[in-house]
A and B are shown apart, each in its own frame.
Chain A
Amino acid sequence: MDIQELIENFELFDDWEDKYRYLIDLGEHLPQLPPALHSEEWKVSGCQSQVWLVPDVIEEAGKKLINFRGDSDAAIVKGIIAIVLSIFTHKTPQQIKEIEVENIFAKLGLSEHLSPSRRNGLGAMTEKIRYYASIL
């Protein structure tokens, strides 16, 4: 699902419960990350739950694009990962650098996940994605 579609879906909910149920649902539908990739190497530190992000570089029409896969042991964070992936996956490193996640999460009505305590690691995930974009 692309991010525009997600924003439209989130606009349909007027209470937090429905929003969170949908978020959890998004997480449940995230493609499985193979167990071997649940390793220290792909772990994002700075999250209260365990979070893994795996970048895959591909070439398309002579352009370098990065796809991401991800997982978490916590359900709501897994939903957040699903959103993060739909924001960042299949983009060029330059596009990744320019995306403003804050705006998107505000539009989704999930701004509380931007809190600087990084309790859910959204900040840490974004940093890690930008880091991969800068080195790959």
Chain B
Amino acid sequence: MYDINEIRKDFPILNIQINGKPNTFLDTAASAQKPQCVIDTLVRVYSGTYANVHRGSYYLSEQITGLYEQAREIIKTFINAASSHEIIYTRNATEAFNLIAYSWGRNFLKTGDEVLISEAEHHANLIPWQILRDELGIKLKIFKIANDGSYIEDEYLKLLNEKTKLVSVTAMSNVLGTVFPIKKMVSQAHKVGALFAVDACQYAVHRQIDVQDWDCDFLAFSGHKTYGPSGVGVLYGKMSVLEQMLPYQVGGDMVDTVSFEHTTYALPPSRFEAGTPAIVDAIALGSALKYMMNIGWARLEAHEQDLIVYASQQLQEIAGLKIIGTAPDKGGVFSFDLNGIHAQDVAFILDKEGVSIRTGHHCAEPLVKRMGYNSLARASIGLYTSREDIDRFIQALYKVSSFF
């Protein structure tokens, strides 16, 4: 049984008031709130075990290096990687995609090669490829999605061919919620010899990932969205691929031997982790992922699925409200249009009622435009979202309608 009231007690920020109203936080897709255990880890490590990692041969350094590497093990378990050496710490998913583009793209792509992405990508999984297109003369192909946000297999297969060297697709759209059938798409990409990168930023928050089952070559997500601290993210890469890649940034901690003439690089993941990382944030990310896994995927997904159905029904009852993104398989994000009222006006009034939602192009401007908008309002849920949150949101939307 999923006791939402108990879960909510783990998140201190949910108790605060906003404009004198209960904190109705519906912007988890942008960044999630943090459970007490994550906050405690940050305090505990800074108060009792802090030093730099991988450097000193003294007690504190060994302690913290142990914790830092344990967190890597937790991440390995979280996505079921074959080895923790395949887990690279980054600042966030954006850095992970830049790393792939730089360390793999610049070394393995040449003029005429193609990179294939979907219409539903976040700028983080779009702009790095545009830059490679302009620098290397590769082609950037973009497969279409349906008007309701659904994946269309034919559109994908139409653009997948022997020239495709990399497919990079989100597992769950941050605007439409659409879930892409990654496992099948990976196997189709591999048939033409392309590698496959997964943007798991949203998916990782809501559903269990198995990189070995998916057989993807890269996968990225951000710690701050999976209830962990900001400043740390994850890039998974298959060892056979990582081994062939050159460093992304260079400096301390990523080398094997250095002389003034020559440097040999360390093995992955160190090769890609130049400089002092977000040590304590990484450790606290471990706490966050453990927290999610302790709740259990089946329970977490069942709770969120129930909310998705509940929210969809309530939203559909509001006159003039249109949900943007109604793919049969979708996660807990609701982009919507309310009678053509500007998303920002909606958000201003919701804010007055203590309800936080996101507006704008959601860093997926081409997608928002493709759906026919300049700006969209989006509510999104997390494991701490309750039916009461949805009720307050719906009431606040009725209030918005009363203004226009």
- The yes or no answer to A60 lying at the interface (CB within 8 A) is no
List, in ascending order, chain B residues with CB within 8 A of A24's CB.
Answer: 403-404
List, in ascending order, chain B residues with CB within 8 A of A75's CB.
Answer: 341-342, 345, 404
**Contact of A48 with B375 in the complex, beta carbons under 8 Å:** yes
List, in ascending order, chain A residues with CB within 8 A of B404's CB.
Answer: 24, 75
Per the 8 Å Cβ criterion, residues 330-367 of B in contact with A are 341-342, 344-345, 348-349, 352, 359-360
Bound together, the chains give a CA A119 to CA B343 distance in angstroms of 12
Out of B341, B344, B352, name the residue touching A119 (CB < 8 Å). Answer: B344
Query: What sequence of 0s and 1s flags, for each residue 106-136 of chain A, a beta carbon within 8 Å of any chain B beta carbon?
Result: 0000000000000110000000000000000
Bound together, the chains give a CA A120 to CA B345 distance in angstroms of 10
Bound together, the chains give a CA A76 to CA B359 distance in angstroms of 14
**Contact of B359 with A48 in the complex, beta carbons under 8 Å:** yes
- The yes or no answer to B374 lying at the interface (CB within 8 A) is yes
Q: Could you count the A-B residue pairs with CB atoms below 8 Å apart for me: how many are there?
A: 37
**Contact of B403 with A49 in the complex, beta carbons under 8 Å:** no
- The yes or no answer to A21 lying at the interface (CB within 8 A) is yes
List, in ascending order, chain B residues with CB within 8 A of A119's CB.
Answer: 344
Which A residue sits closest to B360, measured CB to CB? A48
Which A residue sits closest to B352, measured CB to CB? A16
**Contact of B344 with A77 in the complex, beta carbons under 8 Å:** yes
List, in ascending order, chain A residues with CB within 8 A of B19's CB.
Answer: 16
- The yes or no answer to A74 lying at the interface (CB within 8 A) is yes
List, in ascending order, chain B residues with CB within 8 A of A77's CB.
Answer: 342, 344-345
Counting from the closest, the 3 A-B pairs by CB-CB distance are: A74-B342, A74-B344, A49-B344
Chain B residues close to A by CB (< 8 Å)? 19, 341-342, 344-345, 348-349, 352, 359-360, 374-375, 403-404
Chain A residues close to B by CB (< 8 Å)? 16-17, 20-21, 24, 48-50, 73-77, 119-120
